[in-house]
Amino acid sequence: MGRLLDEVDGCALVGMVHLGPLPGSPGWRGDLGAVLDAAERDADALLEGGADALLVENMGDLPYLRGGVPPWTVAAMALATERVVRRGVPVGVQVLAAANREALGVALAAGARFLRVEAFAYAHVADEGWLDACAGPLLRDRAALGADVRVWADIRKKHAAHAVTADLDLGAIAKGTAFCGADALIVTGESTGAPTSRADVVAARAAGLPVVVGSGVDERDAGVLGEVADALIVGTSLKVGGDWRAPVDPARVRTLKAAISAGRG
């Protein structure tokens, strides 16, 4: 993470820009302009509430493809991400599910500065199926393209089974992921909206990289997690009614930002 958020005093708030269904997904409604406009409104609402950075994700494309997406998804993601990048804050990209090479292309084209990467190191079973580790090819692609894009790697990611690595504790997974070249580590709960363990965040810090909380943060635990994390990625709890499908509520963003500051105080 490093220089991306150096200007932030304490724990940074990274707000999620959840895109509506994109072309080719089961929920696609045929109006890309409406999707792009909604992304811009959510980005503005997050910044109005005090978010320090933004992360663009094709959340509306469920159920997700495994390990890759078609060209029309990449094109739509690039358009949406570029609109968010215009806001002048650090912006990241995640293309579900584990379409990490495509996400790198989106980031390079749109000017995003970091990727959220599933299955960077250590294979696991996600709800889309088996995901192989991608660190080797992804970092070679980044080097070949000369892309100044950081990798924020999930460790023991939500919505997944990790029995194949059950003989390794979270600290060992974190160290292995750092060894493979991640720039920051993301720790999550079991599913979207599920809380993240403070102890897991502390364990991940042993790897020596910035640690980001990637799920389940709300105003009740933002202060506690903000004491030990470098950044909090927040989506669901910042939406109207706490529904990830709803627009961002700036008042909820302000409340959560204040909770982070109170925890650090």
pTM of this prediction exceeds 0.85: yes
Mean pLDDT of the chain: 94
Per-residue pLDDT of 68-96, as tens digits, reads 999 999 999 999 999 999 999 999 999 99
* Terminal alpha carbon distance of the chain: 23
Tokens in use for 54?
């933004």
Position 192 pLDDT exceeds 70: no
DSSP 8-state code for residue 10: S
Q: What is the pLDDT of residue 163?
A: 83
**CATH number of domain containing 61:** 3.20.20.70
Q: What is the pLDDT of residues 106-145, one digit of tens each?
A: 999 999 999 999 999 999 999 999 999 999 999 999 999 9
**Which structural domain range is residue 87 located in?**
2-264
Region 3-16: mean pLDDT is 85
Q: Could you count the other beta carbons within 10 Å of the beta carbon of residue 53?
A: 23
pLDDT tens per residue, range 207-256: 999 999 998 899 999 999 999 999 999 999 999 999 999 999 999 999 99
Residue 133 tokens read as: 């580790």
156: pLDDT confidence band, cut at 50, 70 and 90?
A: confident
Say how many C-beta atoms besides its own lie within 10 A of residue 73's C-beta.
23
203-206 — which CB contacts under 8 Å span 24+ positions? Answer: 203/169, 203/170, 203/171, 203/174, 204/155, 204/170, 204/171, 204/174, 205/174, 206/171, 206/174, 206/175
CB count within 10 Å of CB 179 equals 11
Q: Count H helices, E strands: the chain?
A: 8, 11
The domain tally of the chain equals 1
Amino acid at 223: G
> On the CB side of 179, how many CA atoms lie within 13 Å of its CA?
8
